[in-house]
Amino acid sequence: MEFLNRFFFDIYPYLAGTVFLVGSWLRYDYGQYSWRAGSSQMLSKKGMRLASNLFHIGIIGILLGHFVGLLTPHWVYEPFLTAGEKQLLAMGAGGVFGAMTLIGGALLLKRRLTNERVRATSSFADIMILTLLVVQAALGLTTILFSAQHLDGSEMLKLASWAQSIVTFHGGASQHLDGVAIIFRLHMVLGMTLFLLFPFCRLVHIWSAPVEYLTRRYQLVRNRR
């Protein structure tokens, strides 16, 4: 049991992170024709807008929340926000964005499995990664029930200490997780697994999001003749 604990929470994060970065780079270099979202909207638009918007807004909110919540040192927000208050904030925001991701993802998965035209163009990887994202959203929402049993923020501080130890390359990060409920561990392992699978599925299109359009000073438009 100790070996599994050390593997998944001391070694696996770096394994998943390395595959995530190196795999994405290699796929960009050698598989640019597969670097796409593979949208199926042109095949069937029914229910697509609602499901897609819920899913994408929800998942963006979750990623930003996890990034800020886990990697911000306690001393940064301690002067104006207690650990308990931060946890309540995380539970509320995580609940909203998590529910959006779960509902949107479930609708997209149902569409992909039941719509004949969409199913015909879906690969095993498409269905698998969407299923894992829905399961991950469900696990994340379930953790809120366990977080409610530690409203002093102690559980959140353990998770943040683990994440900060990982990104700063401090050894023994798994020690910060002593006493953490199994549901959090499952959520963490599946999250790292999604990063591991990232370069091998359609998720790579996230790297190509046209963010630069938000900061462009002008846009050239040709007159139609």
pLDDT at res. 12:
98
pLDDT at res. 150:
85
Helix (H) or strand (E) holding 49: helix 48-71
Q: Are 97 and 62 in contact (CB under 8 A)?
A: yes
- Domain 1-21+42-205 adopts which CATH fold? Fumarate Reductase Cytochrome B subunit (1.20.950)
Q: Are 172 and 10 in contact (CB under 8 A)?
A: yes
Tokens of 12: 């696996």
pLDDT tops 60 at residue 181: yes
pLDDT at res. 39:
54
Tokens of 212: 């630069």
Q: 96-149 pLDDT, tens per residue? A: 999 999 999 999 999 999 888 888 888 888 999 999 999 999 999 999 999 999
pLDDT at res. 7:
97
Tokens of 143: 């953790």
In this structure, the dihedral spanned by the alpha carbons of residues 17, 21, 26 and 27, taken in order and rounded to 10 degrees, is 90
Q: What is the mean pLDDT of residues 167-173?
A: 94
Sequence ranges of the domains in the chain: 1-21+42-205
Share the mean pLDDT of the chain: 87
Annotated binding-site residue? 176 = no
Annotated binding-site residue? 205 = yes
Q: 60-96 pLDDT, tens per residue? A: 999 999 999 999 998 899 899 999 999 999 999 999 9
SS3 38: coil
Rounded CA gap, 81 and 78, in Å?
5
Local structure of residue 103 (DSSP, 8 states):
H
pTM: 0.85
Tally of CB atoms within 10 A around 223: 4
Annotated binding-site residue? 170 = no
pLDDT tops 80 at residue 52: yes
Tokens of 204: 């790579």
Annotated binding-site residue? 66 = yes
